[in-house]
Structure 1
Amino acid sequence: GVKLKFTSSALVSFVGYTFSKNIGFTFLSGTSVRFRLYGKWGVVGGKILVIIILNYLTFWLGFFALSGILFTLWPPVLQSAVRVPFGSLKVIGIASAGIYVLYMVVVSLRKRPFRIRGKSFTLPGRSFTLVQTGISILDWLLSAGVFFMLLPPEIGYFEVLGVFLLSQFAGLSSQVPGGLGVFEALTIIILSPSLKPDILVAALILYRIIFYLVPFIIAMVSFAAGELLYRGSEKP
């Protein structure tokens, strides 16, 4: 229900997402940026909180839906290329699919609003959730595609996607800024039987620059420029 220009929504989305990715501690980095930007554009705190919750839901809905599909339907292909030390990939797929289905059941059946810190909000219905999921899946597919393009042709896209999902989940769960070290270490451990470690390290460094460092620099410049322009407009 918030009316904003597309450019404003795009800016806060890009800056908030990039800060969360690089700094970690999402509720202190990306959330703070979103509160600052939305707030100065006149969006009230309750609506900002709802926007942020929907943002995080979108991100993880795509992850669990895609993981559920990938690890359940393609485990033989992935299992031959992806060596995981914690059991079958199909188990991970079933668990991910179960989480996603459970959420879909909740949004389909629960009609009463949820309450957080005195604020009430209602989760979107099934149609909106499916759109959220589709957008998030596309985001995950493109993100993995960046890493795939940096690797030699000996390994297929679905294998890279499987490793990417596992490593990103580990990095994000660690709350280490940008998953630095965690994402790289797990990727090397899983893919080293298929690819030489030096090739993997080179690809991971390039991926870190392309996907993290360059967008972070652009986001910092954009945020700083926006703050300077806003303060300049406030002066009499």
Structure 2
Amino acid sequence: MDSGRPKPAKLRLWGRRILTAAFLLLVAWLLVTHARRTDWDAVWTALAGYDLAQIMIACVLAAGSYMAYASYDLFGRYYVGHGITASRTMSIAFICCAFTLNLGALIGSIGFRYKLYSQRGVRKGDVAHIVGMSITTNWLGYGLLAGLVFLSGSFRFPTGWIASDALTNLLGVALVAVVVAYWLLCIFAKKRSWDIRGQVITLPSIRIALLQITASAAHWLFMGGVIFVFLYGQVGYFSLLGVLLLSSIAGIIAHVPGALGVLEAVFLALLADTVAPAQLLAALIAYRAVFYLLPLLVAVVAYVLNEVSVKRTKSSR
């Protein structure tokens, strides 16, 4: 046996690292290229041009998106049957969502959920189920929306790109098929539970499955609405939504917290021929302020208040 031969796991690890590094280099190149061509005075002028009504509408849409996301944990509450109130459950989910978007899923979605739920007596195994239910819910809605957008013809890659309409349609079919398969499992599967490495995974009812997809779709639709408002409708909504959905995947591939730089690179690459780069960058800066930074400030306050409440409860016992 050749003990010096690289193991498959190591090869896969190095392969992922090389692909991620190459992807980040591409993102950096796109950002630098567009930054050099951008009239930054025009960007600040565009930012200053947003009126209060626009900002308020964007804030309402952002709030709707976070409310939809916060409802994900209600499915987890139903799934594991913990005794935390629905309002407190949604508060925990909101905090986790804001930290996830800005700092990454490992910290927000997983780390904060374990801490906040464990403080209130939820077992680690149950927290794992809640995290799993939240992730499943999020990507079910994503898959359905992305599939429908790609199949509708609303989204097209720029001329000259390798990706063709046939490939886009194939991807759309695959995404919708996954969601439909999940629905069919929830309706017809005779075996409802599986033990995977000590964790019991149970299929929800079709009613819960439909509610999951509705909540997740609302989250992504509201999110797209925030950018749409700041772009003055210069891009069709569903075309814009397709770009946003692609940028989310790009952010996951790059492992960059908040998809910082990645989101901007994808939007510039796909929409620079449709929207003036200065206006596009202004819209993305405003989007980050409303959808990322403002909710993060609210989440920090909510988290501090939660910690004070937990300490008071412990000291009163």
TM-score by length of 1: 0.90
Partners in 1 of 2:256 and 2:213 — Cα distance?
26
Residue 148 (structure 1) aligns with? 228
The 10-residue stretch of structure 1 (186-195 or 159-168) with the greater mean CA deviation from structure 2: 159-168
Give the deviation of 1:135 after TM superposition.
0.9
* 8 A contact 1:35–1:45 mirrored in 2: yes
Q: What is the alpha-carbon distance in structure 2 between the residues aligned to residue 81 and residue 135 of structure 1?
A: 31
Counterpart in the other structure of 2:214? 134
Q: What does residue 123 of structure 1 align with?
A: 203
Structure 1 stretches of 5 or more lacking a match? none
Counterpart contact for 2:101–2:257, Cα < 8 Å: yes
How many matched pairs?
A: 233
- Superposition deviation, residue 201 in structure 1: 0.4
Letter in 1 for 2:102: N
Alpha-carbon offset, residue 38 of structure 1: 1.2
| Preserved contact between residue 81 and residue 159 of structure 1 (Cα < 8 Å) | no
- Is 2:269 the counterpart of 1:192? no
Pick closer, same or farther for the CA change 1:115–1:192 going to 2, 3 Å. Answer: same
| Structure 1 residues 23 and 80: alpha-carbon distance in aligned structure 2, compared to 1, 3 A threshold | closer
Determine which structure has greater relative contact order: mean sequence separation of CA pairs < 8 Å that are 6+ residues apart, divided by chain length.
2
- The equivalent residue for 2:250 is 170
Q: Could you list the per-position Cα deviations for residues 165-201 of structure 1 after superposition, in whole angstroms to 9, with x for gaps in the alignment? A: 1112211332210111111100111011111111100
| Alignment-mate amino acid for residue 156 of structure 1 | G
Contact 1:150 1:203 (8 Å CA) reproduced: yes
Say which of 118, 121, 133 aligns to 1:54.
Answer: 133
Q: Which of structure 1's runs of 4+ aligned residues deviate more than 6 A?
A: 80-83
User: Equivalent residue for 1:69?
Assistant: 148
Once the two structures are TM-superposed, the CA of residue 8 in structure 1 deviates from its matched residue by 0.7
Query: What residue is the counterpart of 1:34 in the other structure?
Result: 113
Counterpart-to-counterpart distance in 2, 1:84 and 1:69: 21
Q: Does 1:78 align with 2:78?
A: no
Query: Per the alignment, do residues 173 and 125 of structure 1 end up closer, same or farther by CA in structure 2, a change over 3 Å counting?
Result: farther
Partner amino acid for 2:182?
Y
Identity of aligned residues (%): 32
Structure 2 residue matching 1:78: 3-state secondary structure = coil
User: Which among 158, 164, 168 is matched to residue 87 of structure 1?
Assistant: 164
Specify every segment of 5 or more residues in structure 2 that has no aligned partner in the other structure, as ranges: 1-80
TM-aligned CA deviation for residue 125 of structure 1: 2.5
